[in-house]
A and B are shown apart, each in its own frame.
Chain A
Amino acid sequence: MTTVDRVVGAGIDRIDGPAKVRGTAPYAYEHDPGEPIAHVALVQSTVNRGRITQLDPTRAEAMAGVLAVLTPANAPRLSGDLASDLPVLQSLDVHYQGQVVAVVVAETSEVAKAAVGEVSVEYAAEPPDVRLAVDRPDLYAPEKIMAGYETDSVIGDVDGALAAAAVTVDATYETPTQHNNPIEMHTSMARWDGDQLTMWDANQGPHNIVNDLVAGFALDGGHQVRIISPYVGGAFGSKAFTHPNQMVAAMAARVVGRTVVLELTRQQMFSLVGHRTPTIQRVRLGADPEGRLSAISHEVVEHTSRVNEFAEQTATPTRVLYAAPNRRTTHRLARLDVPPPTIMRAPGETPGMFALESAMDELAHELGIDPVELRIRNEPTEDPERHIPWSSRSLVQCLRTGAERFGWAGRDLRPGVRTDGRWLVGTGVAAATYPARRRKADCRISVAGTPAGPARYVVEIDGSDIGTGAWTALTQIAADALGVGMGDVELRIGDSRLPFAGGAGGSTGLASWGSAIVLTARELRRRLEDEYGGQVPPDGVTVDGGVPGPSPHAQERSMHSFGAHFVEVRVDADTGEVRVPRATSVYAAGTIVNAKTARSQFLGGFCMGLSMALHEESVQDEVHGHYANHDLAEYHVATNADIGEIDIAWLDEDDPYVNELGLKGIGEIGITGAAAAVANGYWHATCKRIRDLPITPDKYFR
């Protein structure tokens, strides 16, 4: 076996890059099923709650080119085990606006879309109840919140400590509903061969989708479903779980007996594939005159839907970020007539860190202490709620390094005193944090000798590349673990026929899949050494391996990545327009596998946080109950012109506890805290504290 230099850590071009830039890498709708594709279009409810009283598909059915119209009356029955919004067309009840009430299948997309308008539907509807408020009498505490966290945490006497504190902050922050809006719209292309279902699908974990299809169609097992997703055009959480589109595509394909495709429209993505719940968060901080926190309280109110309980873990970063003897975090939910919420990039941490890190900035001002210094003074020596040591924690170093790179030293604490022409200028800082987890993953590596050249290693694992760079990073990891060159490794991901892996989510991808590859590669090398004298046998060798789940140290060490953002914010004194001409973000996230793609992940996360700070809000009409700005012209995300110079750096961090590779995951940390940094900079520029995102020009005139 040849040995080569380590490639983990290098900045290597994406191996899928050449095909992606030309547009030849096949995404869900771009595979060739080998037969003409029929097109699916959706009829959606225009009310939030009620019942269908009349549904007439006859005009649509009569249109030339229409193959079928599925309604609750004739759609295939799905098993009763399906939850949330997956039992599509199984009843006449309507639980949210945008719910699928009929499905058209036609020869062409033009006919399918036109036929939608010819299906007439009437409802007996209740007025929509969509307004989140802290004084709703129906707020309730869920059993648990997401990711297995406790709903509340209460340590010490928070109210007593707040009452006794020399300095306090008590502020309420609001984040709006947001939509993931990956640029590839959710798409499912389905085909049945007998009782075998093949689906080319846009998702962030093929195995996640299989189970719901097996359950829904009462199949014998996962072997009857194959989900193929080698390339996915962004996801950010909305493609993590099964949504109605996969169910509809499978049903429609079964009914018409050929391949169908359902490509959701952008507008439909506002109701059918989830959103980030809006939050109302009250944060109270108590500190002594030196800024040492005596109490932290973070109370969250957020929404969920009638058909699922989605309890976002919004206050959980507050459980780890700062030391304080008295602490409280709570989560309360309102069940509203809204589509089911889902995960969106760093669910919980993203809205939660906006509130906590804004409050820390307010406290720094109250105290007259530099906000970087305030954070350093409250650095905990151990996990402040679990009372276990950190696996590694470098927040202070991130703050110091970032301050240095950004040129923070000597910053004037006073808000609203710097101008440059008509620009009001300020700077802001916030911390970032995200948990480091590992999940179960299986892997298979086969090696075969080639007659002439070197051995080829086929590495198989159902990981996903939703833009994270997994194609490249996993190939690097495999090459190092096998001690061969990247060119000798053939990676296969994005197919439920491959060995099990959880989806790309929770920043667990490389930690889980990479660890599985490392352990399987070690076993393969051991067998080659022990059984074949280090030579690849003529028939080759195949080894199955993997990781069983969380790190064995997960109970005795608290595992998180950390970071710090520094931004310059400029606000037009006449118009309230906001620009962020420069930013520095420094991260400590353990091993960085690919310096090039990792930088892009950090950049992408930070920019999505900036977009959240300044632009993103899905506005729900309280009379009609729909998302009134349901497209990309009205739901604004940052454009190229909104992004300035961004300096990204990371620290060397060696963490022997998290996983085999010492990496903590990088997909989500970049967004956490970013919005707070921008809002804090806005305040420093203008003296105006905008506590409800996004900070659009209108709010300047309050």
Chain B
Amino acid sequence: MREFRYAAATDPAAAVALLAGEPSGAFLGGGTNLVDLMKLGVATPDVLVDVRTLTSREVTDAADGGLRIGAGVPNADLAADRRVRERYPVLAQALLAAASGQLRNRATTAGNLLQRTRCGYFTDVTRPCNKRSPGSGCGALRGLHRNHAVLGQTLDGPGTCVATQPSDMAVAMVALDAVVQVLGPDGARSIPIGELHRLPGDDASRDTTLRHGELVTAVDLPPMDMPSRYRKVRDRASFAFALVSVAAALRVEDGVVADVRLALGGVAHKPWRAAVAEGALRGRPATEESFAAAADAELAAATPLPGNGYKVPLARNVVVRTLLELTGGLA
């Protein structure tokens, strides 16, 4: 690990001001991702500004009936929050399906959103990786990519990257149309969560649209009145990242899909909002056939790699199954 200075600030504004003058500095949340990457030599900040206890650790009721989640709220506390469990089960389930009890106790909401990909070439500094070292190539493309992206990858050029975004929580938040509150050197702004994470495009090094020094202060959840759920498929029964996950919310009226939210995890460089499928479903009968047709429509754009083609039928099945479960059609 490279040497670094450790700085504590007194309030969020001071933290932002501190980091603004440190082009190679980073905010530190729970550290469960950043410290890991520093040990691997992947992250080499020269100063850490500790914001774990600086940003709010509270979940508060919002005026519109939604919730405001402080950036410092630990994943475990968020999953245990009664309001989240009752009104946003998809979020509680996503959090509970992630990492381990110990990690969830330490990890923060902001840190979770901004955790970096688990691609094994990214985390190994002796391998080529356009995300870590732009222009060095993408080791995963011809290497181990069984758990890499099938949608929205960049398959050639300097931006080549087939990595996935690993956060389960983010997938649920995308389905919930959350809004991320940010404080930067130029003031505060709100980012709809669907615009936070990005596809690799021609620059795989940037995971998100955040600018250097921007501090996530909170995540707002709009009110939610649809039943929702999260289903994660992984290699072992617990403590593993998603192969594919689905966050879904569904309202059926008179046998017809009145409203639906669908986001996929483990398939792309960002949580994948399945807008095509959502469009194909609204106003259609809430049946297995329409669910399958909608999933197929979404996945028609998939460009699987030699080693991860299974994710396409897997994602399809999980979408159908999760929607069916939300209709009560499957226990």
Contacts and interface: CB of A to CB of B under 8 A. Distances in A.
Contact of A619 (B144, B233, B314): B144
B330 A422 contact: yes
Most chain-A CB neighbours within 10 Å: which of B124, B236, B308? B236
Interface stretch (A223-231, A523-531, A639-647, A648-656): A639-647
Most chain-A CB neighbours within 10 Å: which of B118, B235, B317? B235
A633 to B, nearest CB: 7
Contacts of A701: 309-310, 313-314
Nearest to A117: B41
B86 to A, nearest CB: 26
A629 B310 contact: no
A696 B237 contact: no
A113 interface: yes
A638 B146 CA distance: 19
B237 A575 contact: no
Given A621-B144, A638-B236, A697 B317 contact: no
A634 B143 CA distance: 14
Given A422-B330, A574-B321, A629-B120, A639 B314 contact: no
Contact of A110 (B1, B234, B239, B309): B1
Q: Interface on chain B toward A: helix, strand, loop, or mixed SS?
A: loop
A113 B310 CA distance: 39
Interface string B233-273: 11111111101000000000000000000000000000000
Given A574-B321, A641-B238, A697 B314 contact: yes
B2 interface: yes
A621 B143 contact: yes
A113 B1 contact: yes
A367 interface: no
A700 B310 CA distance: 8
B143 A623 contact: yes
A699 B311 CA distance: 11
A636 interface: yes
A641 B142 contact: no
Contacts of A640: 238
B63 interface: no
Contacts of B142: 623
A178 interface: no
Given A638-B236, A642-B238, A628 B118 contact: no
Interface residues of B, number: 39
A574 B317 contact: yes
Most chain-B CB neighbours within 10 Å: which of A579, A636, A642, A698? A698
Contacts of B124: 626, 630
B127 interface: yes
A575 B318 CA distance: 7
A361 B311 CA distance: 30
Contacts of B126: 46, 626
B139 interface: yes
A420 to B, nearest CB: 11
Contacts of A622: 143
Contacts of A619: 144, 146
Given A697-B314, A701-B313, A628 B233 contact: no
B301 interface: no
Interface string A606-632: 000000001100010111101011100
A44 to B, nearest CB: 9
Contact of B238 (A421, A639, A696): A639
Contacts of B146: 619, 698
Given A636-B235, A636-B240, A628 B1 contact: no
A696 B322 CA distance: 21
A665 B1 CA distance: 45
Contacts of A574: 317-318, 320-321
A422 B236 contact: no
Contact of A114 (B3, B118, B143, B314): B3
A626 to B, nearest CB: 8
Nearest to B237: A641
A379 interface: no
Contacts of A46: 126
Contacts of B310: 697-702
Contacts of A614: 236
Contacts of B127: 624, 626
Interface of A: 46, 110, 113-114, 117, 421-422, 574-577, 579, 614-615, 619, 621-624, 626, 628-630, 633-634, 636, 638-642, 696-702
What are the 7 A-B residue pairs with the smallest beta carbon separation, nearest first? A641-B238, A641-B237, A628-B144, A698-B310, A574-B317, A701-B310, A621-B143
27 contacts: A114-B3, A422-B321, A575-B233, A575-B314, A575-B317, A575-B318, A575-B321, A615-B235, A619-B146, A622-B143, A623-B142, A624-B127, A624-B139, A626-B124, A626-B126, A628-B121, A628-B143, A630-B124, A633-B240, A634-B118, A640-B238, A696-B235, A697-B243, A697-B310, A697-B314, A698-B308, A701-B314
Interface of B: 1-3, 39, 41, 118, 120-121, 124-127, 139, 142-144, 146, 233-241, 243, 308-311, 313-314, 317-318, 320-321, 330-331
